[in-house]
Structure 1
């Protein structure tokens, strides 16, 4: 299996604006996320990552201290992006159901990316106890946002939520699994697959449309 090459900011004639530390560090994270997705965490090596970026292994250590820290940084970065989107969506207009749908679609997009795959499929035990606590704290923060949104939907009547914990884990557990089976180059393109999948899931919590009253039967003369 070949690894897709990542455009490296290290080159024979790099542009001045490409010499910044953060740009190069981001390139390391992006290439590592793709490598972890295709090789698996255990199967990936920093030597291969260095080859992909056309740099030396010691150069990688300038931007990240270890392989497990590299994985942790990838997980944290995608978590922060997800939380930022969730908070902005919740603060915006729309019903709770509309907000939940928007969050689920964006979340699914993340899960089909290299970063999202690292977040959902690579076990947190690979990042040590301190890193695991950091990741799990953000997971709990996201869960609390979703619980409040489900409660709001139940109050306003846009959702039917028998149990918010079951609903949350049922909906987002399915989206997490997209990292395993949904492919960006699959039978359905992501812009069709993701809304379809989300709407199938939401049909289990969306309130049924109110039934129109029966029209009175006309009496025969």
Structure 2
């Protein structure tokens, strides 16, 4: 008789992905063992293999799930049918918010995707390209004239450059957080330095 899934299977699987992403982000994919993942999850290694066949399967799932979620967020914003500028501004704000909630998975995606085989890497990169394409379309909707210079995608990539690497310098316990930085990114992209509005600074308690 086939073994059925436990009632908390999905929750346990999500926990494994979260802990594995944290370990990969902190130690790197090559520097993390399945023993360490199992220990971080409070389970035995054989139990871990009930959910994922190996460390590589964890890497693929973390990276692809993260991009898939970003696609979902992107579609939610596009479906609002807001005007072009509002749509792009919402995309920026939502993506910065999502990166704040999934910093470990995002670090894995940006730094460990090189360890994927060609087929898996290309599939995940295709998803990323779809996300970039929507941002490019949103930019072109605001400035249709940039099509002549083919600047839609380069501008989108510059925007992602601001967002993607924020985790490398923005400290979780610092004076600024992702919520404060999200509108700053939007202001900077839309209007440059003169358009940046100063956030309200928290006073020490």
TM superposition score category, shorter chain reference:
0.7 to 0.9
Q: Are 2:10 and 1:22 aligned? A: yes
Q: Which runs of 5+ in 2 are unaligned?
A: 1-5, 193-205
Q: Give the alignment partner of residue 188 of structure 1, picking from 167, 176, 179.
A: 176
Q: Give the alignment partner of residue 129 of structure 1, picking from 104, 107, 118.
A: 118
Q: Give the alignment partner of residue 144 of structure 1, picking from 133, 148, 154.
A: 133
Q: Give the alignment partner of residue 117 of structure 1, picking from 107, 115, 136.
A: 107
CA deviation profile, 1:29-63 (whole Å, cap 9, x unmatched): 01111111222222222211111111111211111
Alignment of 1:27-46 (within 5 A): 27-46=15-34
For residues 123 and 189 of structure 1, what CA distance do their matches in structure 2 show?
25
CA deviation profile, 1:72-100 (whole Å, cap 9, x unmatched): 10111111111111112112132212111
For residues 101 and 79 of structure 1, what CA distance do their matches in structure 2 show?
20
Decide which structure has the larger Cα Rg and report it: 1
Using the TM superposition, name which of 57-66 and 181-190 deviates more: 181-190
Partner SS, residue 88 of structure 1: helix
Name 2:143's counterpart in structure 1. 154
For residues 196 and 161 of structure 1, what CA distance do their matches in structure 2 show?
28
Q: Are 2:45 and 1:57 aligned? A: yes
Name 1:77's counterpart in structure 2. 65
Q: Give the alignment partner of residue 165 of structure 2, picking from 177, 181, 206.
A: 177
Compute the TM-score of the two structures, normalised by the length of structure 2: 0.81
Q: Which runs of 5+ in 1 are unaligned?
A: 1-17, 205-221
1:117 offset after TM fit, Å? 1.9
1:185 offset after TM fit, Å? 2.0
Residue 105 to residue 138, structure 1, CA distance change in 2 (3 Å) = same
